[in-house]
Structure 1
Amino acid sequence: AKQLVGVNEEDHLILAHQSYKSGKYSQALEHGNAVYEKNPRRTDNLLLLGAIYFQLRDYDLCIAKNEEALAIDPQFAECYGNMANAWKEKGDIDLAIRFYLTAIQLRPNFCDAWSNLASAYTRKGRLNEAAQCCKQALLLNPRLVDAHSNLGNLMKAQGLVQEAYACYLEAIRIDPHFAIAWSNLAGLFMEVGDLNKAMQYYKEAVKLKPSFADAHLNQGNVYKAMGMLQEAVSCYQRALQARPDYAMAYGNLATIYYEQRQLDMAIHCYNQAILCDSRFVEAYNNMGNALKDAGRVEEAINCFQSCLVLQANHPQALTNLGNIYMEWNMISTAASFYKAAIAVTSGLSSPLNNLAVIYKQQ
């Protein structure tokens, strides 16, 4: 009987790996959990479970499984690397950097960790260190497409468009199915205003990886820039299918509904955006505008105030509140909001004009 259990465990692990590789993460999880029930101390299975949870965007459980493995084998470099990936997604970049460095200390030739450390340094604006890490990763493995792509992002961040282009092309030459590089290439063309090329490459990215939420979102942005709003809406909806908690996709969807004067739909989508990301400043301000246009002024005031709680010097929210008080004939309150708006921006003409109107009236 013992042998049967052993075979069963190995079979489950093999099936878990196969399901993981083919992107069937829920199936992979079932097999991995079956192994875990039989033997919770198998570090290779714990590492895989962590990776599965990462793909399912359950970063806390990803971290927990890697911690379980490290309690058994403190030298397990991959666990530190995967934990760092999860912390990076959770937004704690400093902790991610610490874990990448630990992974590299344990395994200096860990090229994925070098490449991921590069993207963490990029997020912190430490571009020179990031470039060094990319180059180190590519020394260890010249075919590491992630590192070519990350190096491209670095070049782009420094305004070196030709160099970025070359990096993305190299990644695609090595692996034509690497969706991230197609998406990054598209972003480069979007920035220089070549919408047709951008569209072509985003289409390639989502064809290669249908669950690629960022690429769906950006493809929607290209359609919007082309004035093809229905297509843009479809892309944002696909982004939300791929990532149901994607605040930016709800925000962009809401903006289109707002521009089409579908105020109820706009308000609903801004609300969803805020539920996904309670610190989404622009969503509060924009939802305030939609509520005000829908005649729900008290709720609009609450939105503008929530916006100011998150960003006390948000010029549009200050101006919008000023406008409401102006309409209510509460002139001195309106003036104080306009003055606050003028103090924090030089780009808005409306608070200046409105303040001039007030001074004229007095």
Structure 2
Amino acid sequence: MRGKAMWAAGRYLVLAALCALCYSNSLHGELVHDDVWAIINNPDVRPASSLRNIFSNDFWGKRMADNTSHKSYRPLCILTFKLNILLGGMTPFYFHVVNVCLHCAVTCLLMHTCERCVFDDSRLAFITALLFSVHPIHTEAVSGIVGRADVLACLLFLLTFLSYIRSVGVCVSADAVPSTVSVCSLVASLLLGTCAMLVKETGITVFGVCVLYDALVLCRRPLISHLSGSRLRDLLHICSPLIKRACLISGYVVIIMSFRLWLMGGSMPLFSEQDNPASFSPHLLTRFLTYSYLLSFNAWLLLAPVVLCYDWQVGSIPLVESLGDVRNCATVLLAVAMLALCLQCVSSLQVRQESREVLVGILFLVFPFIPASNLFFRVGFVVAERVLYMPSMGYCILVVHGLGRLCSVVGRWGTTALSVSMLLLLLLFSWKTVQQNHIWLSREALFRSGIQTLPHNAKVHYNYANFLKDSSRHQEAIHHYTTALRLYPRHASAMNNLGTLTRHPEEAERYYRQALDINPQHNRALFNLGNLLKSQGKEKEAEALLRDSIRFGPHFADAYSSLASLFAEQKRFPEANEVYLQGIENCPDSSDLHNNYGVFLVDTGEGELAAAHYQQAVRLKPAHYVAMVNLGRLLRSSNENKEAESWYKRALQVTRKVDILTPLGALYYNTGRYEEALQVYREAAALQPDSTDIWLALAQVLAMAGRTKEAEKMTLGIISRQGSCIECYRLLSAIYSKRGNYTQALDALDRALQQNPSDLTVRAELHFSKGNQLREMNQLDRAFESYKLAVELKPDQSQAWMNMGGIQHIKGDYAAARMYYQRALLLSPGSKLLKENLAKLDRLERRLTGGA
């Protein structure tokens, strides 16, 4: 007995080790493909998000009742993602570890199920689990994190099945149907089945499997003995336990399906033609033949998983449009095979043989695939490999059943040959699984593999082009977008994205308009065209396009920001504010929208409100360094330097960028912390060595720190590279003036004026600085002329008016001095110095009048 237990434990350890070995190379993979949308971009999985959202939104974070929702209601799967993030952050490794562990659990549970409910020989159950553990069709479900929905649903599927079996008693005679011996197990099976459905929709099919297994296996003997000879009333009485269980399951399924339909807002998901071309065909024959062929195609993927791809849409499998299509032979072959299996089941029931293997194999193969078959509703894919994770259990059971039957008739040598063949198949599947895992390690590897596997698939070219675009490899991206359009000319998104890469506005506009010709409701094409026209000054048409972008994509946050910025540019501030608030209401989890609204509030003088939105942007996206910098600037403007510094430093923990370093350096400079300012500006200069502004800021800090020789050398170096740098000459003048070299300081200002700056304010300031230098050199007449030029260019310079008054005061022209002082006082009525100068002038005039 002990040896038997050890052997059983050894089998489970072998299965777990084999699963871990096959998928160990997937553990260091990235979050790729659908993982990005379901995890990285899904606000519901973030630690700060409400649990209520998980149970009211779809798998991708959209509201279930929304027209754009795919209606994939999988809250328990999303909950596992959220737990993953809470315990291990966004590190992909921990997501992969959980997936591999779940696959190990499913494999072990499948062997237990086969031992208890399928095979009499535990060796066949072990081989079934071995084949399942290494099947290459599982790589998408296990190596792709989104595939957790299929793996976890499969685990709950098996637990539901086992719990249901446990609730039914043993059939002791042919005169009575087994009764329900454990109500708790039956209730547990209902709850587990519901959980399976809440992980993935296909989980609900377990209830059909349970009822049929109950009727055709657990209650087979009494049903067969009474089906032909008993009256209907007697039959109903004998079968009442089975009927009660079936009615309970059926009623419960109707209730939870009604609740599911209510959550969907009473509508089915909307898919495009490229998602499922056959479902959009106007011809019934084409739809029927294509759907039938897709069944045989999926069966072939289970039998011979040689060609695997992450996406089978847009041209991968052409429609079957006529009876003469040779692919109909595959459909007929599958129909014959399934018919033969069904006939074997029926015959085994009639002759009262124990033949659970074929029945369970068919149930496990067919039922979980029904939701993906287009039989009851349109699905959003042509072929999806991860959908085959659950049906593959039935495939493995049927293959091993066939192996067992063959071994029983071929003799010793034949059994050996079959055993070697099965071993080779397991090795081949293991090798293929390991190779396929490499494909799922990164976005680039995945998308490149799609092009190598299905070069005629427009979708894989489009996905790879998106990756290239994100990687700034624009020429390669253009090539693959063009290829996608050649393969599928009605690919509106490829047309739109091609428009974003072209350098010519006319060409971009043409691409956007072509995308809208294909799909007039393409909200991103509307957005891009609206922005393009806005930049060209066509504001009326841009406004209409941006409004349409919001109407067809009410959860597209960028459209709200763009429309609001258009209104702000037109000084339509109330309308801009309304658009921002509407956007925040519809897109409450958009960090960029909160940040942009904060910028708008600062520009309109609502700084206190802006701070709250900057902070909300950071809460929604803890790595939103732009919002941190904006908040730092806002605090800096209120002289809250300590808080501003902390936000700048927090942004630097996210990334070391010039846009963060320069405001931090300015803060240090303005608060007299010159050494820290030098350190920050030097780092900024290393990151962006061609930036004149950064080198100039560094020179200014050196000058203020008393290191004038270094400042001079650095400033002259900037001038040698960019002779038109006016601020450089101003700094050079200040350095020379500080040393008392007024002639050189004056020369630097003259060289700055020779650049003829177009900004009148800058020219006025230069003339004012020149006047100051001349005054220091006691050249009062020339200084007066420089001040005069300054106020002609910028009449509101009170200091220049006062200095002109001072010169006239010194020269003894008191009337002129009084006029200039009074002009300055009008501009600066609170100036004590001006009032003192006027008082001095009054005393002098009284003294002169008294002396006369």
Cα distance change on mapping 1:334 and 1:238 into 2, 3 Å: same
Q: 1:81, 1:100 within 8 Å by CA — same for their partners in 2? A: no
Query: Quick one: distance in 2 between partners of 1:125 and 1:355?
Result: 47
Match of 2:36 among 11, 15, 19: 19
What pairs up with 1:47-126 in 2 under 5 angstroms? 47-51=462-466, 58=471, 60-61=472-473, 64-74=476-486, 75=489, 76-79=491-494, 81-82=496-497, 94-95=503-504, 98-99=507-508, 101-108=510-517, 109=520, 110-120=522-532, 122=534
Match of 1:163 among 555, 575, 587: 575
Task: Report the CA distance between 1:235 and its aligned residue.
Answer: 1.9
Which is worse superposed, 128-137 or 178-187? 128-137
Where 2:777 maps in the other structure, the secondary structure is: helix
Which is worse superposed, 348-357 or 76-85? 76-85
Is there any run of 5+ residues in structure 1 with no aligned partner, and where?
A: 1-11
Task: Report the CA distance between 1:198 and its aligned residue.
Answer: 0.9
Q: 1:338, 1:355 within 8 Å by CA — same for their partners in 2? A: no
Cα distance change on mapping 1:112 and 1:236 into 2, 3 Å: same
Q: 1:322, 1:337 within 8 Å by CA — same for their partners in 2? A: yes
Query: Quick one: distance in 2 between partners of 1:100 and 1:274?
Result: 38
Query: Quick one: distance in 2 between partners of 1:77 and 1:151?
Result: 23
Task: Report the CA distance between 1:251 and its aligned residue.
Answer: 0.5
2:693 aligns to what? 282
Cα distance change on mapping 1:13 and 1:324 into 2, 3 Å: closer
Query: Quick one: distance in 1 between partners of 2:483 and 2:539?
Result: 34
Query: Quick one: distance in 1 between partners of 2:742 and 2:729?
Result: 14
Task: Report the CA distance between 1:211 and its aligned residue.
Answer: 2.4
Identity among equivalent positions (%) equals 19
Partner AA of 2:589 in structure 1: H
Where 2:680 maps in the other structure, the secondary structure is: helix
1:239 aligns to what? 651
Cα distance change on mapping 1:120 and 1:337 into 2, 3 Å: farther
Task: Report the CA distance between 1:297 and its aligned residue.
Answer: 3.4
2:565 aligns to what? 153
Is there any run of 5+ residues in structure 2 with no aligned partner, and where?
A: 1-28, 42-89, 93-143, 145-439, 783-852
Q: 2:512, 2:529 within 8 Å by CA — same for their partners in 1? A: no
Which is worse superposed, 180-189 or 109-118? 109-118
**Structure 1 residue 273 and structure 2 residue 714: aligned?**
no
**Structure 1 residue 44 and structure 2 residue 459: aligned?**
yes
TM-score (norm 1): 0.77
Q: Which has the higher helix share?
A: 1
Task: Report the CA distance between 1:222 and its aligned residue.
Answer: 1.2
Where 1:176 maps in the other structure, the secondary structure is: coil
The one-character-per-residue Cα deviations of 1:235-270 (angstroms, maximum 9, x if unpaired) are 2233334443x3221100111122233323212322
Query: Quick one: distance in 2 between partners of 1:282 and 1:341?
Result: 16
1:352 aligns to what? 771
Task: Report the CA distance between 1:14 and its aligned residue.
Answer: 9.9
Where 1:64 maps in the other structure, the secondary structure is: helix
Query: Quick one: distance in 1 between partners of 2:711 and 2:573?
Result: 42
Where 2:779 maps in the other structure, the secondary structure is: helix
Task: Report the CA distance between 1:30 and its aligned residue.
Answer: 3.3
Task: Report the CA distance between 1:195 and its aligned residue.
Answer: 2.3
1:34 aligns to what? 445
2:270 aligns to what? none
Task: Report the CA distance between 1:289 and its aligned residue.
Answer: 0.6
Where 2:672 maps in the other structure, the secondary structure is: coil
Query: Quick one: distance in 2 between partners of 1:141 and 1:175?
Result: 11
**Structure 1 residue 251 and structure 2 residue 251: aligned?**
no
What pairs up with 1:334-345 in 2 under 5 angstroms? 334-341=745-752, 344=757, 345=762
The one-character-per-residue Cα deviations of 1:94-126 (angstroms, maximum 9, x if unpaired) are 547743641432443332122134345556666
Cα distance change on mapping 1:186 and 1:310 into 2, 3 Å: farther
Which is worse superposed, 278-287 or 255-264? 278-287
Q: 2:715, 2:728 within 8 Å by CA — same for their partners in 1? A: yes
The higher-RCO structure (CA 8 Å, 6+ apart) is 2
Query: Quick one: distance in 2 between partners of 1:84 and 1:274?
Result: 35
Cα distance change on mapping 1:181 and 1:309 into 2, 3 Å: farther
Partner AA of 1:353 in structure 2: N
Cα distance change on mapping 1:117 and 1:283 into 2, 3 Å: farther
TM-score (norm 2): 0.36
Which is worse superposed, 161-170 or 179-188? 179-188
Query: Quick one: distance in 2 between partners of 1:46 and 1:257?
Result: 50
Task: Report the CA distance between 1:331 and its aligned residue.
Answer: 4.4
**Structure 1 residue 293 and structure 2 residue 701: aligned?**
no
**Structure 1 residue 194 and structure 2 residue 606: aligned?**
yes
The one-character-per-residue Cα deviations of 1:165-213 (angstroms, maximum 9, x if unpaired) are 0110111121211222211221122123332211111111111122222
Cα distance change on mapping 1:353 and 1:98 into 2, 3 Å: farther
Query: Quick one: distance in 1 between partners of 2:499 and 2:622?
Result: 26
Query: Quick one: distance in 2 between partners of 1:236 and 1:123?
Result: 32
Query: Quick one: distance in 1 between partners of 2:534 and 2:716?
Result: 33
1:4 aligns to what? none
Query: Quick one: distance in 2 between partners of 1:277 and 1:97?
Result: 33
1:207 aligns to what? 619
Which is worse superposed, 228-237 or 40-49? 40-49
Which is worse superposed, 38-47 or 191-200? 38-47
Cα distance change on mapping 1:130 and 1:203 into 2, 3 Å: same
Query: Quick one: distance in 2 between partners of 1:291 and 1:215?
Result: 30
Where 2:605 maps in the other structure, the secondary structure is: coil
Q: 2:669, 2:701 within 8 Å by CA — same for their partners in 1? A: yes
Query: Quick one: distance in 1 between partners of 2:746 and 2:738?
Result: 12
Query: Quick one: distance in 2 between partners of 1:166 and 1:61?
Result: 38
Q: 1:143, 1:174 within 8 Å by CA — same for their partners in 2? A: yes
Q: 1:78, 1:103 within 8 Å by CA — same for their partners in 2? A: no
Partner AA of 2:446 in structure 1: V
Partner AA of 1:78 in structure 2: S
What pairs up with 1:209-224 in 2 under 5 angstroms? 209-224=621-636
Task: Report the CA distance between 1:338 and its aligned residue.
Answer: 1.4
Where 2:40 maps in the other structure, the secondary structure is: coil
> What CA RMSD, in Å, does the superposition of the two structures yield over aligned residues?
3.7
Where 1:202 maps in the other structure, the secondary structure is: helix
Partner AA of 2:574 in structure 1: Q
Cα distance change on mapping 1:213 and 1:120 into 2, 3 Å: farther
Cα distance change on mapping 1:84 and 1:253 into 2, 3 Å: farther
Where 1:73 maps in the other structure, the secondary structure is: helix
1:174 aligns to what? 586
Partner AA of 1:356 in structure 2: R
**Structure 1 residue 264 and structure 2 residue 679: aligned?**
no
